[in-house]
Amino acid sequence: MIQNGKLFGYINKTGNVIIPPRFAEDFSDGLAAVAQYKEDLLSDGEFWYINRLGEQAFQGRFSLASRFFKGLAHVRLQRKGKDFDCEDPGTFAYINARGKIVFKYSPGSCQ
């Protein structure tokens, strides 16, 4: 993994850059979550998953995304034009490595 300011990318064993720097988590189950944040870094970002070639692994963008663990990742489904709100935190889901929703739920307010 290489770091360029707040951006991360990946190199192979010979030191060649295979995924240019952009915010990313470590790979798990062959996939990594990458994000594009708004300027303030406090608002929701836009997350998607890439494979080891740096290609988007499947269609779908999320407001939040975790790394995969035992074949599942925890995500918050996107809501157009709305950042996190404690009164209405949105809909969360677990997805498989093909991007299919396995289980989704709405937790209710944070209070």
3-state secondary structure of 19: strand
* Entry pTM: 0.73
Structure tokens at 70: 């035992």
* Environment class of 40 (CB within 10 Å of its CB; exposed 0-12, middle 13-18, buried 19+): exposed
Position 96 pLDDT exceeds 90: yes
Cα 27 to Cα 85: distance, rounded to the nearest angstrom: 29
Identify the pLDDT of residue 38.
Answer: 59
Among 41, 30, 31, smallest CA distance to 7 is for 41
Rounded to 10 degrees, what is the CA torsion of 54, 67, 43, 1? Answer: -50
pLDDT tens by residue, 19-51? 777 656 778 899 999 887 655 545 567 899 999
